[in-house]
């Protein structure tokens, strides 16, 4: 059974790209979210194995979404997607419960390595 993933990003382009990378690696994209609020709702509903989360999104940012999701499910596996220069925000996201991060522009190999780490983390 393939692993399920919820892709959260306000840009369609980024969602498509992340989705493609993960699908090629055998994941099933079970949902997409454009806002933090959507991300939280869809997580509760879909219970995916993995969430990729953009930091900056309208209507509740990625960090607050991480906080909400981990409050709901402390075992949630969330991978942050950040841009260069968002160091402080990434730190905050990890403190909020995200398990790892990748930095844009994405290199498929790095994304998959990070996903692997998130999924194998205790």
Partner 1 sequence: MSHAPTDASRYADLFRVEARDHLAELDTALLALEQVARDDADGDTDRDAVRDERRSAERDRHVATVFRAVHTLKGMAGAMGYRAVERISHALESLLDRARAGSITLEAYEVALLFDATDALSAAVSDSADGIDDPEREEFSTILRRLGSVTSRPHTDDVFASVVAVDIPTDARQARTVSIALTADCPLKGVRAMLVSSRLRALGDVGVTTPPQARWNDDDFDGAFTLSFRGSATADEIAAAARAAGEVARVDVLAPDAHDDRAPKRGGLPGDERAGASGERRVAGDATRHVRIDLRRLDMLVDLTGELVITRDRLLREADRAVERGADRALARAVQDAARIVTALQHEVLHARMVPVGQVFDRFPRVVRDLARDLGKDVQFVTEGRDIELDRSLLDAIGDPILHLLRNALDHGLETRDVRRLAGKPAAGRLVLRAARDRASVVLQVEDDGRGIDRKAVLQRAREKGLLGANQTEGGATVDDDRLLQVLAHSGLSTARAVTAVSGRGVGVDVVATRVRALGGLLSLETIEGHGTVFTMRLPATLAITKALLVEIGGDTYAIPATHVVEAIEFDPAALLEESGRELLAVRGARIPVLRLRQHFGYPGGAGEGYVAVVDVCGRRTALVVDAMIAQQDVVVKPFDAARGGAPWFSGATVLGDGTPSLIVDLGMLV
Question: Which parts of this chain interact with partner 1 (CB under 8 A)?
Answer: 82, 84, 86-88, 90-91, 94, 100-101, 103, 113-114, 117, 120-122
Nearest approach, Cβ of residue 42 and partner 1 (Å): 26
Nearest approach, Cβ of residue 75 and partner 1 (Å): 14
Closer residue to partner 1 (CB): 1 or 84 = 84
- Report yes or no: 36 and 30 within 8 Å, Cβ to Cβ: no
38's enclosing H/E stretch is helix 36-46
Closer residue to partner 1 (CB): 30 or 89 = 89
Alpha-carbon torsion (31, 86, 11, 24), positive or negative: negative
Nearest approach, Cβ of residue 80 and partner 1 (Å): 9
Closer residue to partner 1 (CB): 48 or 97 = 97
Nearest approach, Cβ of residue 29 and partner 1 (Å): 23
Closer residue to partner 1 (CB): 59 or 113 = 113
* Token code pair at residue 98: 């995200």
Q: Following DSSP, what letter does each residue of 66-90 receive, concatenated?
A: HHHHHHH-TT--EEEEE-TT-HHHH
* Token code pair at residue 50: 């993995």
């Amino acid at each position: 059974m393939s692993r399920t993933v919820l892709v959260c990003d306000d840009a369609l382009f980024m969602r498509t790209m992340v989705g493609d990378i993960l699908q090629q690696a055998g994941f099933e994209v079970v949902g997409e979210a454009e806002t933090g609020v959507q991300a939280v709702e869809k997580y509760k509903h879909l219970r995916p194995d993995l969430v990729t989360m953009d930091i900056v999104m309208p209507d509740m940012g990625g960090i607050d979404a991480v906080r909400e999701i981990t409050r709901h499910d402390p075992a949630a596996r969330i991978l942050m997607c950040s841009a260069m220069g968002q160091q402080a925000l990434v730190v905050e996201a990890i403190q909020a419960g995200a398990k790892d991060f990748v930095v844009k522009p994405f290199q498929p190999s790095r994304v998959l390595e990070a996903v692997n780490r998130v999924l194998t983390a205790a």
